[in-house]
Structures are given as structure tokens and as C-alpha cells.
Structure 1
């Protein structure tokens, strides 16, 4: 019986590690910056910068659109992301605002939200 229980626990632990580079949060997934870059290169995505305009103007990921986290509501989100099933990659400066923005977008009904932290650790190109 102990062996059966230990085997079952081992399978549970192994399965909990499955899933690659994503962690499911409240209606959105947290991914690595490497995974975000791969998604940018391989599919049609909306890259969403949720910092303030002056931060965005000082440097952002190529192709990113600005939607400051404090302005997110049904109308502003629909202007930038018209389709609620669009793949949206969300970032900010350090990762705090992007989590809040991702949660807000999920609560508005967006279904493909991926949060990947902050630009301050982004190892790829910016403009």
C-alpha cells in the first residue's frame, strides 16, 4: 500500500512539473521572456506595453502598442485589442503592472493573455 501511495505521489509531482514555460494565473498565463520572443516570431500577437507614455517613449519592444495599466477598461482595451481571442503578450518595466493588467484584461473577457514580466530584463531588441 505504501508503495502504491508513493508511486501515485511521484506521478503527481511529475505531472505538476509538466507544462513547459507557462504558469496559469487568474485568467492569464505567465511565460518566460524567451517564450514570449518565440511567440512574437512565430505567430500573430499583440505586444502590449502597460507602462506610462513617457516610459514607452524612452524605449519599447518593436511592434508594441501602449495601453497604460491605469487606463484599462472595456473601451480602451477594445480600441487596442478588438478581438477578445487575440493572443496578447503583456509587459511593463519590472513585472508588477503587467500582472495587474493581465488580470484586468482576463476579467474583461480576453482569453489568450500571456504576461512575461518587465522590459528591464528583456534581453532582445528595443526601439
Structure 2
């Protein structure tokens, strides 16, 4: 009836520390779906791949030659505030990726102890 999860979030979300650890071990993909200019202005989460939401459909489609995301690994997605990452999580789920977690915004990442690096 009611969902208390953020849009695009289908399971209990791992902590930022857990995500950072899994990404460092290459057991999870961390995906930033903001635009390049935003990443240049405010940095990017350490270990994240930048694929703007505007091109995610091509870069995540396993049938497309420019697909940049591996299947078989969980994906954690963030943007500036959580809206675009929710849309991205829904799109990735429809493309057969999973589990997919919406982490919210870059501020949520930093507030949870995640490291932010220059892009």
C-alpha cells in the first residue's frame, strides 16, 4: 500500500560504509548520475562511475555496444538530491540490473562518511 523506500529502492539499503567497502572490493558498482558539470563543481564519490541520467539508457543497455555497466553486481546510485538517482534505479531495474539501491544525494554520501574526490 505505502512504500517507505526512496523511489527506485527495492531492498534494505546498505550503509555508506558498506557501499564504500564493497566498491573498493569491486563487488558493487557506485554510480553517479549527475551531469559532468555538477561532478566537476562538487566532486564525485570515491570509486564512483559517472554516467549522467541523460545517457544512462545507452550506457546501461546490455544490448548497446557502448554499455558500461556489468551485470551480476549490485549497483548503488546517487545524484544531487535523490530524485534522478530514483529514476536511474528504476531504469536499471527495468534493464535487468539488481539489486539497485538509491543512496540519495552526494550530501547523503558525505554525511554517511563517504569520501568525495575531485572529478
Does the pair score TM above 0.5? yes
Q: Structure 2: how far apart are the matches of 1:46 and 1:82?
A: 8
Q: Which residue of 2 aligns with 1:29?
A: 11
Could you say if the C-alpha distance between residues 24 and 100 of structure 1 is closer, same or farther in structure 2, counting changes exceeding 3 Å?
Answer: closer
Could you say if the C-alpha distance between residues 26 and 50 of structure 1 is closer, same or farther in structure 2, counting changes exceeding 3 Å?
Answer: closer
CA offset at residue 113 of structure 1? 0.7
Structure 1 segments of 4+ aligned residues over 6 angstroms from their partners: none
CA offset at residue 62 of structure 1? 0.7
* Mapping 1:1-127, distance limit 5 Å: 23=5, 28-29=10-11, 31=13, 35-42=15-22, 43=25, 44-58=27-41, 59-73=43-57, 75-77=58-60, 78=62, 79-83=67-71, 85-121=72-108, 122-123=110-111, 124=113, 125-127=115-117
- Please report the TM-score for the alignment, with normalisation by the length of structure 1: 0.68
- Choose 1 or 2 for highest CA Rg: 1
Higher relative contact order (CA 8 A, sep 6+): 2
Q: Structure 1: how far apart are the matches of 2:77 and 2:13?
A: 10
Give the number of aligned pairs: 102
Give ranges in structure 1 of 5+ residues lacking alignment: 1-21
- Please report the TM-score for the alignment, with normalisation by the length of structure 2: 0.72
Q: Which residue of 2 aligns with 1:9?
A: none
The structure where helix makes up a greater share of residues is 1
